[in-house]
Structures are given as C-alpha cells and as structure tokens.
Structure 1
Amino acid sequence: MNESPVADSAVGGLVPAPAQPAWAGADPYTRALRTGRGPLFLRRADGWLLPLEVERWCARADAVDLEILGRCEGSVLDIGCGPGRLVAELAGQGRRVLGIDVSAAAVSRTTRLGGPALRRSVFEPLPAEGRWDTALLVDGNIGIGGDPRALLARLTDLLVPAGLLIAETVPMDVDERVRVHITDARGADGPGTPPTPGTPFPWARIGTRALIRHATRADWTAVDQWATGGRSFVALRSRSLRRSRKSSADPAKRTAVISSQRPRKPSAGSPVAIPYRRST
C-alpha cells in the first residue's frame, strides 16, 4: 500500500502516513465486520435504504437471541450466520451447531469466536444434509435469494423430517421482492461522495403473515409466532416427505447469497463439531 507523507506539527517535518489495515479497501460489508460497526445498508435502485444492524450482529447474543436459542432442538444449522454471535453462543453451551455464510470475513469472525463455520451458500452441498434438527434464518435471512418458496424447499432437504425452522420476519405486513446491493452510503472517499455501486442481488422482505402463507403452500406448518424486543419470529415444521436432492438442491439452478450478498466461487471453510446424527 502506498503511503503519502503528512506534516508532523511537532517536528515541523514530513513523516509517512500511518499504514492502513489490509482490509481498509475491502467491500463495505467486510469493513463493517472488521470494525464491528456501521453504517451499512441494503440499497434499492431507486435509492431506498434499509439499515443493517451491524453493531448488534457483532455484539454478544442478547436476551432476544437467547430466547431464540432456547427454542432450538438438537443440532442447529445457522444459515447466514454473519459474524457468528449465535453460533458462538450455542458452541459455548456445548450444543452441536454449524454456521454457514458466503462471506469470508463472517466465517473468519465466527471461527475466532470459537464457533464452527463454513464458507458456503445454503444452496451448495452441505455436511449432514437431512440430519439437522433445527435451522435458523434470523437477521433478515429469510430474504436469501429473493424466493422464500425456493428457500423453504431447500430447507426440507437439510432438516430431519418434521425438523424445526425458526425464521425472523419483518415486523410489519410486507411481502416484496427487490434487487439490492450493500453499501455504506458514504462512498469510497468518505462522507459526501457518491457510494460505490455494489453487485445487485435478489432479496425478499417477508412479514409474518406472508411467511406463513408461503410456508403453508410449501407444505410447512406454523407451530408458533412471537414478537419481542421489536423483532418478530415464526417457528415452522415441514409436513412433506423429503424430496430427492437432485430436484431440490442443484446449486447450479439456484441463485442465493447470504449476509455479504457477494457472488463467489464455492470454497469450504473449516468445519468443527459438525453433527452427523440427530441429537436425542
């Protein structure tokens, strides 16, 4: 990295500017995870911004998170685990858990916290398919791929029969498909400059009523719904027998991204304590 000289008022001369971290020029999502703070947004083409709660994601699991985790059964797959607070908490409790995320920065942070994680999309082949007891889709991840029906179909293959899905929904009645990109809304050169366009990707925003409607059509049953701490959730169980993986889990025919929402080539991380059988 090039360094430019800056004036040192104490000695009246020039000294090299402090070197910036290697990740300082990275994409906004990576920078946010590295620093643990925003601002960070999903941005539509019309300029609409959805704030992302980076500080909460990078903090320890809070009371609302702990309530979610208390509802989990057996082995847990956290889809779009982000910086890993839920995975780390479950691992610290001695639970069988795996986080998956397409962001290298997210997986790295999760593993540094002591949580097992893989750099993988939910639509790529995953360890222990069909043997997970619980799947988590929190922090907006029900929107992955912009197609909740396709996502629910994929989860049928990942969970045990009648396995549990806990999904966080938008706390309002909404059901929309959008194309967005991730931005810090500040631009590469700081506040006041135009933001650098990111790669657009499909996303969905789903409220509780809409998710239950989609789930019912996809052979899932809503077994609980609740709201706490300004957040809303739905617990679902699949009613259908597992379909063949050839028809439901072909990653080449799916478009899905998690957390960083950046396309990438498949790349495995470092799995740790991955369950291969159902917990009792």
Structure 2
Amino acid sequence: MTAQLTAPATRTWQADPYVDALRAGQGPLFLRRRDGWLLPLDVERWCAGPDAADDTVLARCTGPVLDIGCGPGRLVAALAGLGHTALGVDVTPEAVDRTVRAGGSALCRSVFDPLPREGGWATVLLVDGNIGIGGDPAALLRRAAELTAPGGSLLVEVAAADVDERVEVHVEDGAGGRGAAFWWARLGARALDAKAEAAGWTRCDSWQTAGRHFSHLTR
C-alpha cells in the first residue's frame, strides 16, 4: 500500500516543474487538485534561511534530528550550524544537492526506504506540509514512530484550517508546466491528534507563529 502511494509522488518530485523552481530558488509553484483548487508552494521561503517560525521549530529540536522531506535543506543546515547531528531525507536529487551545498547532510531516499539510525532519532521533523507525503498520514506517522527513539519527539506543521483530506494533485508552475498526478494529504491539528494517537504518539504542545501552525508529539 505504501509503495503504491509514494511511487507517483517520487516521480513528480524528481521532475519539472518542481526541480526548475528549486534551481531558480523561486516560484510560482502550486499543488492543484482535480477540482481546480490551488495550494501555493512557498519555494522562496524553502530556499531561504530559517525564518522566525522556523526558529521556533529549531529551538525544540534535541539530540540527533531527522528532517523528512527536507527540500533545499534550510533546517538541516541550520541544525548543523547549531551543533546537532542532522540528516535530511528527500526524493529530489536537486533538493539533496542544495542541502549539501548549504552545509547540511542529506540522502536522496524515500522515508519508507531503510534509513540510518532507525529507532534512534531524538527529533523527527515533518514541516512545510510534509505530513501529506504519500497521501497516507497514518502510515507516515507509524513510519516516523519506527524512526524515533523511545521518548523522542515529532514536530509537525499542520494546516491552519480544521481539515482532513486525501486528494489527488499535481505540481504546476502557472505557465503551463505540470507534473504527474499523485496523492497528497492535508491535516489540521484535530485530525493530526486522532491519527497520531493511533500511531502511538501523544501531543504535548502546539503553537502558532507567523501564520503557521505546529504540533509537538512524543512517543
């Protein structure tokens, strides 16, 4: 089930127009649902240094940190600069290359592939909407639990709205470029709590800053 869900997304994130946007360091870039609804993707923020909201995530990181779907690596590089052992995982070679160039460590790999230090990460990150990876948050939360050390933390960025949806989307650039369709998910805090509890997580904190919403889960 997981492989079927993640394979189309893997192909998408390795191809245009997402890679073109990463190389340029800017959008516009969107996720489009089949009904036409658009979700803007904040490529410029991803390719910049950590902002004030990111700083609140970094401040809650302890021990070795795994960033799932690290993108161009702003958090991984910042964590390395703070003295953390940090690793990014992303299926896009360009994202991994950018992370390494920024001073971080990263692997071009799916989160569902074998990874270093399984069961030993003190903090795992799912920010920038990455709880949606594969369109199956329950499976992703179970996988995160396998990767995290007992008593470890999972820091998740959630949607501001009270939403729980699994949708078919594709990436497009607003100028005619589009990628293949794949499954994605969006969760608000309440939906995350329900799925997290079933996967063995407990919410110990939540916060909002600069229009972004986060939850701190523990095993």
Task: Give the TM-score normalised by structure 1.
Answer: 0.72
Q: CA deviation at 1:217?
A: 2.1
- Which residue, 95, 107, 121 being the options, matches 1:132? 121
Q: Which whole-Å CA distance do the structure 1 matches of 2:16 and 2:104 have between them? A: 24
Q: What pairs with 1:150-161 in structure 2 (closer than 5 Å)?
A: 150-161=139-150
Cα distance per residue 1:7-42 (max 9 Å; x no partner): xxxxxxxxxxxxxxxxxxx61111111111100001
SS at the partner of 1:145?
helix
Count the aligned residue pairs.
205
Q: Specify every segment of 5 or more residues in structure 1 that has no aligned partner in the other structure, as ranges.
A: 1-25, 188-194, 239-280
1:208 matched residue in structure 2 = 189
Q: 1:173 aligns with which of 146, 158, 162?
A: 162
Q: Which residue of 2 aligns with 1:235?
A: 216
**Is 1:78 paired with 2:67?**
yes
Aligned-partner Cα distance in 2 for 1:117–1:145: 20
How big is the alpha-carbon RMSD for the aligned residues of Structure 1 and Structure 2? 1.0
Aligned with residue 55 of structure 1, among 44, 69, 72: 44
Q: Match of 2:58, SS?
A: helix
Correspondence for 1:12: none
Q: Which runs of 4+ in 1 moved over 3 A?
A: none
Of Structure 1 and Structure 2, the greater helix share is in 2
Counterpart of 1:65 in structure 2 is 54
Residue in structure 2 matched with residue 224 of structure 1 by the alignment: 205
Percent of matched pairs sharing the same residue: 62
- Alignment deviations for residues 96-121 of structure 1 (CA, whole Å, 9 cap, x no partner): 10000000010000000010000010
1: distance between equivalents of 2:101 and 2:62? 25
- State whether residues 145 and 200 of structure 2, in contact with CA within 8 Å, keep that contact through their aligned partners in structure 1: no
Q: TM-score when scaled to structure 2?
A: 0.91
1:164 matched to 2:153: yes
Is the counterpart of residue 45 in structure 1 residue 34 in structure 2?
Answer: yes
**Distance in 1 between residues matched to 2:53 and 2:191, nearest whole Å:** 22
Q: Does 2:135 correspond to 1:146?
A: yes
**Corresponding residue number in structure 1 for 2:12:** none
> Counterpart of 1:109?
98
